[in-house]
Structure 1
Amino acid sequence: MTDEPKRKNPIGATGKTVADNVKRLREGQRLAFVDLAATLESIGKPIPTLGLRHIEAYKRRVDTDDLVALAVALDVSPVTLLMPNSDGPGAEVPVTGVLSRPVQTGRFWDWLIGVYPLEEQSEDQRGVTSQIFQRKARPAWAVSAAFGSVRELPAGIDMKVVNKVAQNAATKAVDDLLKRYEQRHNDGDD
């Protein structure tokens, strides 16, 4: 009996999701491995049939170029390949990079399409946090369309510094709101 060699960097939860979705979509479209391989060849990103079999068996990683080519060949968005197939938005699924807990599929979808950060936010933080996230997660032209005109940063301005300033301003604004709230409630108690 021979043991399979242990991989240095095994395929994670999201890699397995991609593999499962490739299989589900390929079979749903009644494509044989040879058909999908031929389509990939015709669009300039060949993956041989054995490579496709290895993807579906979790023996071959899908890199970003593969992901996009597979999405084109299967006529779906790359997000479709990244999204776990589940019964609904409340289902919990493992996500690569989130070690602490499974993530609800609805939250994962919102993150994938750039609506909300992956981590849950309190009701008070949700609006501000989602706007900050959307500004970072979307291309500038999409941010401009969603939030109005966005000025380009002058040369030499570090976005990390801008984000830190914005975070400090948001923290100060929340602190000010809490102080005013406490003052109102303390004034009413006297």
Structure 2
Amino acid sequence: MPSMDESPPDPTAATVAENIRRARARRGKSTYELSALLTEAGHTVSQSALSRMERGLQRVTVSDLMALAVVLDVSPLGLLLPLGDDGAEAVDVTGGGTLPLHRAWSWAQGYEPLNPEGDPRTAAWEFRLYSLPPGLRHLPGNPYLTMEGDE
């Protein structure tokens, strides 16, 4: 497994580490129990590796993240992004800079581009085209996915 001992974790890695610890604790599981659940799900991660992940000392792979989300019964986004109560709270997104929490979530959920260029309506539709499956690109009544003027 890749180690992060050489440098401090980036903002997203730090958030993932904290969210894994939080979700595990909320489920009342030890790192040993979580390791066993992951093994049962077909994705082996040792107890010591989980402990290192929670402390930000070991990188969490995409496969780790997905398996952890499954066994902890949370959305993968619930591990990737902060879960603050204040949507205006400033959060750091690796590669995206500092932005309000609600914008980070809106972008991650495929609702709006992080850095739109040109016409906002065109930018939003192009973002959805490459971010969402066809059936989710336009949901009537969803304020995030229904553009002004859509019928």
- TM-score using structure 2 length: 0.81
State the partner residue of 2:130.
136
Aligned partners of 2:64, 2:5: CA distance in 1, in Å? 24
Question: Separation in 2 of the partners of 1:135 and 1:74?
Answer: 30
Cα contact 2:116–2:124 (8 A) shared by 1: no
**Mapping 1:21-170, distance limit 5 Å:** 21-98=19-96, 101-119=97-115, 125-143=119-137, 146=138
> Percent of aligned positions with the same letter in both sequences?
32
Q: Specify every segment of 5 or more residues in structure 1 that has no aligned partner in the other structure, as ranges.
A: 148-190
The separation in 2 between residues aligned to 1:75 and 1:121, in whole angstroms, is 36
User: In structure 1, the residue corresponding to 2:112 is in which secondary structure?
Assistant: coil
When normalised by structure 1's length, the TM-score is 0.65
Aligned residues: 136
> In terms of mean alpha carbon deviation, does 78-87 or 49-58 score higher?
78-87
Matched residue type, 1:130? A
Cα RMSD after superposing both structures: 2.2
Structure 2 CA distance, aligned partners of 1:31 and 1:94? 28
**Which residues of structure 2 form unaligned runs of 5+?**
140-151
Which structure has more helix as a fraction of its residues? Answer: 1
The answer to which structure, 1 or 2, has the higher relative contact order (CA under 8 A, 6+ apart) is 2
> Cα deviation per residue 1:9-31 (whole Å; 9 max; x = unaligned)?
65311111111100011111111
Shift of 1:127: 2.5
